[in-house]
Amino acid sequence: MRLLSLFAIWHLTRFARLAGSIGFALMLTVSASPRLSFAAEPRLLVHYMPWYATKDVSGAWGWHWTMNHFDPEQKKWDDQRKIASHDYPLIGPYDSGDDHALECHALLMKIAGLDGVVIDWYGTSDLNDHAMNHRNTQKFIPWLKKAGLSFAVCYEDQAVKSLKNGEDVKQAQKDLKWAEEHFFADPSYAKQEGRPVLLVFGPQHLKWKFDLGSKPLVFGLAHLVKENGLDGAFAWPPVTGGKSLSPEQWKKELGLIYAQKQPFIATAFPGFKDIYKQAGVHASYGGIASRNGLTLSESLAQALETKSPLIQIATWNDYGEGTMIEPTRNNGFRHLEKLPHCGNPADLRLPVMLYQLRKRGGDATKLDEASTLMFASKFAEAEAILASVSRELGKQVIDGGYHLTTELLYREEPGINAAQNQRCRLDVYAPATKKPFSTVIWFHGGGLTQGERSIPLPLRNQGIAVVSANYRLSPGAKSPAFIEDAAAAIAWTFKHIADFGGDPQRIFVSGHSAGAYLSLMCGLDKQWLAKHGVDADQIAGLIPLSPQVITHFTIRDERGIEETQPIIDDLAPLFHIRKNAPPILLVTGDREKELMGRYEECAYFWRMMKLIGHKATTLHELDGFDHGKMPEPAFPLLLKFVEQTTTDTF
């Protein structure tokens, strides 16, 4: 059973090998397996994990955020808590029992055009965190109903594995009876052929024969369907054996399930990248690359071709295994935008904005009104209310003397598209009383394909303003769209920073990695800012942290050029070196730990700037720091550069 060996040990409670865990029997009469009719328009469900706990809501961080290894109380320089995941929720780590998070999720699912949710359910017992998961499941269902979504459950029969002397069977019977009375009887419960749909992740502990009065259609893992008399199978990301699967491999594995002569629920997924090895839990199950959203598109297309009446996306929010389609720091709303019935992409940011404003203490009455409008699909009216609450919160003093104004649209020209409306936004963190002040414009990294704005922690409470901007990303946007956006954000700052008390003559432009590339392109190639009536020489200083100074690898990839083939053309900062450029502070990580050739690129850039007569280019190499960790020690250099340049110039 190579295809589905993952399923025997899928989660912490799934560590026992399948061969040694099946053996107890829940003997009930089996119903005849149906033949599910094909569907021209299948229902799209998403698998949902209700198991997250945070300190502020539940009193302690739950295992699924920590895995007894990571400490969410610690934050990295980019304001991300240390959690058990390679990615990070766009709204931050949340509690599955928090109504604000559930409201946000339900609204996002509604806008994304999902039909329903399959909730991972551990039953009704008090074992481990099962009672919490059960409560969270019950809390989420009313929000789903409000959004017009159906729901189903996927029962984890391993939840009863620790019970002995027949108590496991009794608990499973109790769980199923409860589900029949409370879930299956609900008008919003997902049904097929008039029968409730029940998924079982296995069965991995019990041999099951179902004879419930409601006659549910029971779907399990493909290799366990026949021996347990289930009605059909559901597919899942086919990782196994710690191997990384190519698109051809995982498509072939799924095709084996879809070719079987039994009913099935097809699957789609964004990729698979678990954190188990790094957390010390066990070896990695393997991996499937996301390919910037292409994996979701292709797995969904394969699922649609099967004509299965039900498609399950794996998953909304399994951060431990890296299968999330919910908005994250790395991928933004990319995966939701790829769903066939997604609404206006610009509207997807509104539930996130609602959640963030609630957590900042925004006017509850107004935010409740905005929520009601969104559930009624009146997004323009809701956005106006959210914007007004954001403006009011921008007047509050935080960090002992700063204002934070968020979600400001910097593309001010008429006729912007939905992608610009969603991504072309910035936040302003500025001193409340000290005026005038210097400003650092900060562009996030992420290879021009991913990333999300934040106010870097080392730049807070430093007597300066920070303008942190998003920009459109590849492959949804092609070059030079991201440069155009960065230039528009810089121009917006020149036009508006005085409104916050800043000095337009003391604007510095910085960023990390891809953001550093953008800062150099806008500061050296004067055409981009000139389109907005700004002379690039007005910038007080450029502070790129580990930039690509040749043509960026993502732009080369757009052209079909290998990453190892260097190109220097008009989209390379190195192409635009000039004597009269603003002062430049270049910082890289250790040349032996950096991305390939990154230090050497920057060293060549530094040398060429010197040769053409630029007297204010400085290069620092941070020994012992790799590409991702180098910003932390670079920020003191950035602040010193801002202070010194300001003193020398003004």
Alpha carbon separation from 556 to 379, 519, 568 (Å, rounded): 38, 19, 10
Active-site residue set: 513
Cβ–Cβ < 8 Å for 189, 217: no
In 315-384, the DSSP E strands lie at none
**What DSSP element (H or E) covers 543?**
strand 541-545
**What DSSP element (H or E) covers 440?**
strand 437-443
Sign of CA dihedral 63, 64, 68, 71: negative
- Give the side-chain half-sphere CA count within 13 A for 460: 16
Structure tokens at 298: 């292709």
Per domain, the residue ranges of the chain are 5-23+44-54+98-343, 394-649
* Amino acid residing at 159: A
Sequence-ordered list of residues with C-beta below 8 angstroms from that of 474, at least 6 positions apart, any chain: 292, 448, 449, 482, 554, 558
Structure tokens at 561: 């050029």
pLDDT for the residue 36: 54
* Residues β-bridged to residue 45: 116, 312
Q: For the domain made up of 394-649, give the CATH fold.
A: Rossmann fold (3.40.50)
Instruction: Encode pLDDT of 4-40 as tens digits.
Output: 333 333 343 333 322 333 333 443 333 444 555 555 6
C-alpha span between 216 and 301 (Å, rounded): 28
pLDDT for the residue 3: 30
Sequence-ordered alpha helix ranges (H) in 403-552: 418-423, 481-496, 514-524, 527-530
C-alpha span between 157 and 130 (Å, rounded): 12
Q: What is the CA radius of gyration of the chain?
A: 27
Strand ranges of the sheet holding 286-288, from the earlier edge strand across to the other edge: 243-245, 286-288, 272-273
- Give the side-chain half-sphere CA count within 13 A for 10: 24
* Residues β-bridged to residue 574: none
What per-residue string of b and e applies to 567-592 under the rule 16 or more CB within 10 Å gives b?
A: eeeebbbbbbbeeebbbbbbbbbbee
Cβ–Cβ < 8 Å for 459, 639: yes
CATH of domain 5-23+44-54+98-343: 3.20.20.80
Q: Nearest to residue 528, comparing CAs of 581, 475, 483?
A: 483
Cβ–Cβ < 8 Å for 555, 479: yes
Q: Nearest to residue 288, comparing CAs of 306, 314, 312, 310?
A: 314
CA angle, residues 474, 442, 464, in degrees to nearest 5: 170
**What DSSP element (H or E) covers 24?**
strand 24-26
Structure tokens at 22: 């099946």
Q: Which ranges of the chain have pLDDT less than 50?
A: 1-33
Instruction: Encode pLDDT of 85-126 as tens digits.
Output: 999 999 999 999 999 999 999 999 999 999 999 999 999 999
**DSSP strand pairing (502-512 vs 541-545):** parallel
C-alpha span between 224 and 120 (Å, rounded): 19
* Amino acid residing at 507: I
Cβ–Cβ < 8 Å for 467, 425: no
Residue 457 CB burial class (10 angstroms; 0-12, 13-18, ≥19): middle
- Give the side-chain half-sphere CA count within 13 A for 290: 22
CA angle, residues 144, 349, 548, in degrees to nearest 5: 135
pLDDT for the residue 482: 98
C-alpha span between 499 and 495 (Å, rounded): 9
Helix (H, G, I), strand (E, B) or coil at 139: helix
Helix (H, G, I), strand (E, B) or coil at 520: helix
- Give the side-chain half-sphere CA count within 13 A for 495: 13
C-alpha span between 77 and 446 (Å, rounded): 15
Helix (H, G, I), strand (E, B) or coil at 504: strand
Q: What one-character DSSP code corresponds to residue 93? A: S
Cβ–Cβ < 8 Å for 472, 420: yes
Taking phi first (over 0 means left), then psi (-120 to 50 degrees means alpha), and beta for anything else, what does residue 533 get?
A: left
User: DSSP string of 212-273?
Assistant: -TT--EEEE-GGGHHHHT-SEEE------TTEEEPHHHHHHHHHHHHTSSS-EEEEE-S-EE
C-alpha span between 512 and 502 (Å, rounded): 23
pLDDT for the residue 12: 37
Phi, psi of 93 (to 5 degrees): -60, 130
Q: How many CB atoms lie within 10 A of CB 271?
A: 25
Strand ranges of the sheet holding 425-431, from the earlier edge strand across to the other edge: 402-409, 425-431, 465-469, 437-443, 502-512, 541-545, 584-589, 617-622
